[in-house]
Chains A and B, each alone.
Chain A
Amino acid sequence: MNIFTRLSDDEFKKLIKPLLEYAGGYAFSIVRNREDAEDAVQDALLKAYRELKSYDCSRSFKSWWFTIIRNCCLDLLRKRRVRSTSDDIDMDDLPSLEVNKQKELEQDEEISWALNQLAPEHRQIIELRYFGDCSYLEIAEALNIPEGTVMSRLYSARKALTDIYRKEKENGKNR
């Protein structure tokens, strides 16, 4: 974007608003706490507004926005590392859950636990695909890798997740 391209407040809102819900879920998948996720999205919003000049119009806006969210989440995690001692997600924080469905809740906990066992590069791609609802092209741009690598990495991540999930079930762990 050149220095003359200045989006108005309304135009900026128009770009961000449709992506806010995914932003919430994506941030939640990284920081694993709703309050922190909200803080991270707010930080990302300010950062995106300030750094809009650095956005390259030839790339997807969503990829750029999700990269900022990820960086803000990681900053927040670094700052609050002392606070987050548990690996497991706080299920009380899950928004709009029908928490009385015990079986469903257990399954969610299993998925959450399995996601946490993944290698960082696998977890990152799963988060962008499912929580950020990103296409292969958007993931490629966000991670700066070719689309073919996105396909193979996503496949490996799913295989790894299936293996973890299977082992978890075999061991009969209840998380």
Chain B
Amino acid sequence: MEKIDRAKISALIDGELSKEEAELVHKAIMEDESLRKEYEEISKLNGELKSYAQKVMFQPKVTFPKSSTSLNIPVPIMIFAILILRLFLKLIPSVIGSCLEIIVLGLVVTLLLQYLIRVSDQERQILLNR
């Protein structure tokens, strides 16, 4: 008879073993009286603990926090936008003379933001789909 790690009896009860491992441990339990006794003991304890945990479980009355701004924009982006706006206002006279440069800069910033937001959206989806 193959010797098994006794901790696997516990894992078998928890359903945390692979199919092959579970079969192996199950077989060992059937063949060995002391393993069977241990399996029964842990199963009984498992049932009692589960039932006790069910009883103490309760829905806590909690208040969910609310974001302080209705606009769901992260603070660093807001600061960045304000700074750009201030700079833009200061530079208006010279800006008129170099419109093309501003358009190119705007495009680059837009593309960068789009990329970052797309990455964060993917992250958000992964998190929400769990």
What is the size category of the interface that chain A forms with chain B? 35 or more
Given contacts A15-B127, A130-B50, contact A3 B58 (CB under 8 A): no
The residue among B16, B62, B116 with the most chain A CB atoms within 10 A of its own CB is: B62
Per a CB cutoff under 8 Å, which of A29, A45, A94 touches B64?
A45
Using Cβ atoms and an 8 Å threshold, which residues of chain B touch A107?
Answer: 48
Using Cβ atoms and an 8 Å threshold, which residues of chain A touch B16?
Answer: 135-136, 151
CA distance A60 to B126 in the complex (A): 11
| Contact flags A105-117 to B (C-beta < 8 A → 1, else 0) | 0011001100000
Given contacts A95-B56, A130-B50, A162-B45, contact A20 B62 (CB under 8 A): yes
Say whether A66 faces chain B, with CB atoms less than 8 Å apart. no
Per a CB cutoff under 8 Å, which of B45, B49, B59, B128 touches A11?
B128
Using Cβ atoms and an 8 Å threshold, which residues of chain A touch B126?
Answer: 57
Main secondary structure of the interface of A (DSSP, over half): helix
Using Cβ atoms and an 8 Å threshold, which residues of chain A touch B56?
Answer: 25, 28-29, 94-95, 131
- CB-based contact B59/A162 at 8 Å: no
CA distance A11 to B8 in the complex (A): 38
9 closest A-B pairs by beta carbon, nearest first, are A25-B57, A155-B7, A95-B58, A4-B120, A5-B120, A155-B10, A130-B53, A24-B60, A49-B65
Q: Spell out A's residues near B (CB within 8 Å).
A: 1-9, 11-16, 20-25, 27-29, 34, 37-38, 41-42, 45-46, 49-50, 57, 60-61, 94-97, 107-108, 111-112, 126, 129-131, 133, 135-136, 151-152, 154-156, 158, 161-162, 165
